[in-house]
Amino acid sequence: MLNKLIRKSEKSISIPLGKRKENAQQEQLPGHIAIIMDGNGRWAKKRALPRIAGHHEGMKTVKKITRFANEVGIKVLTLYAFSTENWKRPKMEVEFLMRLPEEFLGTYLPELIEQNVQVQMMGNIESLPEHTKRAVQKAIDQTATNDGLILNFALNYGSRDEIVQAVSKIARDVQEGNVALEEISEALLSNHLMTKNLSEPDLLIRTSGEVRLSNFMLWQLAYTEFWFTDTLWPDFDESCLMDAIENYQKRNRRYGGLKEGEGN
């Protein structure tokens, strides 16, 4: 444990963050990074604070990471903020989480506009409380013409729900004679998902030590590179993101084939 701590601090002392960023920019960056922001509750519990204090702290990490991802030159950042299963949590926690977008965007929207960030949202918007919908819609509208980083919030998002909706729309189109059975393809299904305007994630990060997908982008992650870290989301910072990006840049993405020089 101590060794690990020493190694970690040596690493950050030896290469400053700015330099790491510059180095990474010389190589292929992940165009789309998706993050399962997990561990807010445990962060709070460790400090004997209520779980919502962890969510509040996690919101600060969202700002920090969005700003930095934009600086690095990432094109799309998808953040899993609330799953279709998170309604199972205590009412008070759910209500707090549904207030967070307003608080986040209330203080941060001007900066997002200035940084040329475009806010998008995927998930079942209809069943969100009115006040949450309003805050998110305002951010989407006011950043619609920005062409920098796309900040895509997965809010009330569930991948199975997304796939069911897509399949049901396609079935209806077939039934009504607008789509022929032979036209059903991977591309057609992809075009019915909530990510239809986005590239697929190149890198998936999950914080807090959990190693599962929790109903997140099951279709889109087919060939994504995964990065799991024990760091809790409120503790995740710029250097943690650089760790993930640097590791990604060492990977060999084969997509089932071989790289040049790997064949006989």
Residues recognised as catalytic? 38, 86
* Whole-angstrom distance, CA of residue 221 vs CA of residue 93: 29
Q: Judged by CB under 6 A, which stretch of 108-116, 122-130, 171-179, 209-217 contacts ligand IPE?
A: 209-217
DSSP helix/strand/coil, 152: strand
Q: Which of residues 97-116 bind ligand IPE (CB under 6 A)?
A: 97
**77 in contact with ligand IPE (CB under 6 A):** no
Among 38, 57, 162, 238, binds Mg ion (CB under 5 A): 38
Other beta carbons within 10 angstroms of residue 109's beta carbon come to 17
Candidates 119-127, 141-149, 210-218, 243-251: pick the segment binding ligand IPE (CB under 6 A): 210-218
Shortest distance in whole angstroms from residue 84 CB to ligand IPE: 9
- The entry of Mg ion, ligand IPE, none that residue 214 binds, CB within 5 to 8 Å by partner kind: ligand IPE
> With respect to ligand IPE, which residue has the nearer C-beta, 17 or 163?
163
Q: Which two tokens stand for residue 162?
A: 């997304």
Among 33, 36, 203, 240, binds ligand IPE (CB under 6 A): 36
Sheet holding 118-122, edge to edge: 118-122, 150-157, 76-83, 32-36, 203-206, 225-228
- The smaller minimum CB distance to ligand IPE, of residues 98 and 170, is found at 98
Q: Is 168 annotated as a binding residue?
A: no
**Per CB under 5 A, 225 contacts Mg ion:** no
166 is a site residue for ligand IPE (CB under 6 A): no
Q: Per the annotation, does 85 bind a ligand?
A: yes
CB nearer to Mg ion: pick between 32 and 51:
51
CB-based contact 190:165 (threshold 8 Å): no
Q: Alpha carbon 240 to chain centroid distance?
A: 15
Q: Which does 82 bind (CB under 5 to 8 A by kind): Mg ion, ligand IPE, none?
A: ligand IPE
Asked if residues 148 and 117 have their Cβ atoms less than 8 Å apart, the reply is: yes
Which residue is at the shortest CB distance from ligand IPE? 41
Distance CA 93, CA 18 (A): 37
Helical residues (DSSP H) of the chain, grouped into ranges:
2-14, 17-25, 40-46, 51-72, 91-114, 130-142, 159-175, 186-190, 238-249
244, two tokens:
């993930």
Q: State the Cα–Cα distance between residues 33 and 141, nearest whole angstrom.
A: 23
| List of residues 6+ apart from 32 with CB closer than 8 A | 74, 75, 76, 77, 78, 198, 199, 200, 201, 202, 203
Q: How far is the CB of 122 from Mg ion (least distance, A)?
A: 19
Binding-site residues for Mg(2+), in ranges, read: 38, 225
Q: Where does this chain bind Mg ion (CB under 5 A)?
A: 38
Binding-site residues for substrate, in ranges, read: 39-43, 51, 55, 83-85, 87, 89, 206, 212-214
Q: Where does this chain bind ligand IPE (CB under 6 A)?
A: 36-42, 80-83, 86, 97, 208, 210, 212, 214
